[in-house]
A = this chain, B = another copy of it.
Amino acid sequence: MRAGVFDSGAGGLTVVKSLLAHRFFDEIIYFGDTARVPYGPKDPATITRYALEALEFFKNFEIDLLITACNSVSAHALPELRANAPFPVYGVIEPGIQALQNRSLSPEARILVLGTKATIQSGRYQKGIEALGFTQIEALAPSLLVPLVEEGIYDGPVMQSVLHHYFGDLQSPDAVILGCTHFPLIADAIGGYFSPRPLLIHSGEAVAEYLQNEGYRPRRCETTVLKIFASENPDALKATAKHWLNR
């Protein structure tokens, strides 16, 4: 079984990490659109156009399914992708909402959704979480966290001042949706900012859970071949993959 994983850049490797841990696939074809990263601050129409171009790339491989690890793409381009793909296409937002549902929180729980501007403005997480019966939902686009991760800053005074900038006025949430593929890399800093530490929902683990519900079965005894492509500088992306995935 061969899966395609698409992201605007390196962030989607956090989803690949979960897929590798669960060993669903014999092969993963990863494509990062590094020449046009980031997608998060861009227009829905631009994001959809870029996603459809990436789809053409994936049609060159005999993949069984495509996972758009990018939340911004999942928020805006899924209908267009599904209408044009000869294979199933999964996003990360529906899995994230389902993962929250599976955590049996009280309906009074305070849910904090974090994502890019494109993701938050789509309102897709908010609507899905509201439909689960939650009433205290806060949604934020802490845009600086993405370049912080890209600068290799995972904690320390700069991270703390940025977290305080965005979260300083918030009541501590009970659960946080890490609705951008960069955020799992700073899960400790985000979770540790609040007291008590909230439950964190990570797209990678959410997708793994979701795929199991969809009937995909882990094959624990095999290894997964990972092939990495990028629209510029694939070597830099491969180096990041080595670092993040320890392989």
- List residues of chain A with CB under 8 Å of any chain B CB: 34-36, 41-43, 45-46, 143-144, 146-148, 150-151, 153, 157-158, 160-162, 164-165, 232-233
Whether the Cβ atoms of A157 and B164 lie closer than 8 Å is: yes
Nearest neighbor of A161 in chain B, beta-carbon distance: B161
Greatest chain B CB density within 10 A among A151, A153, A160 is at A151
Nearest neighbor of A142 in chain B, beta-carbon distance: B151
Whether the Cβ atoms of A151 and B157 lie closer than 8 Å is: no
* CA gap between A144 and B162 in the complex, in Å: 11
* Interchain residue pairs A-B with the least CB separation, the first 3: A161-B161, A147-B147, A46-B232
Whether the Cβ atoms of B143 and A147 lie closer than 8 Å is: yes
Whether the Cβ atoms of B46 and A35 lie closer than 8 Å is: yes
Nearest neighbor of A147 in chain B, beta-carbon distance: B147
* CA gap between A161 and B157 in the complex, in Å: 7
A165 to chain B, nearest CB (A): 5
* CA gap between A45 and B35 in the complex, in Å: 10
Residues of B within 8 A of A161 (CB): 157-158, 160-162
A-B contact pairs, 20 of them (CB 8 A): A35-B42, A35-B43, A35-B46, A41-B150, A43-B232, A45-B232, A46-B232, A46-B233, A143-B151, A144-B153, A144-B158, A147-B147, A153-B165, A157-B161, A157-B165, A158-B161, A158-B162, A158-B165, A160-B161, A161-B161
Nearest neighbor of A50 in chain B, beta-carbon distance: B35
* CA gap between A151 and B150 in the complex, in Å: 16
Nearest neighbor of A233 in chain B, beta-carbon distance: B43
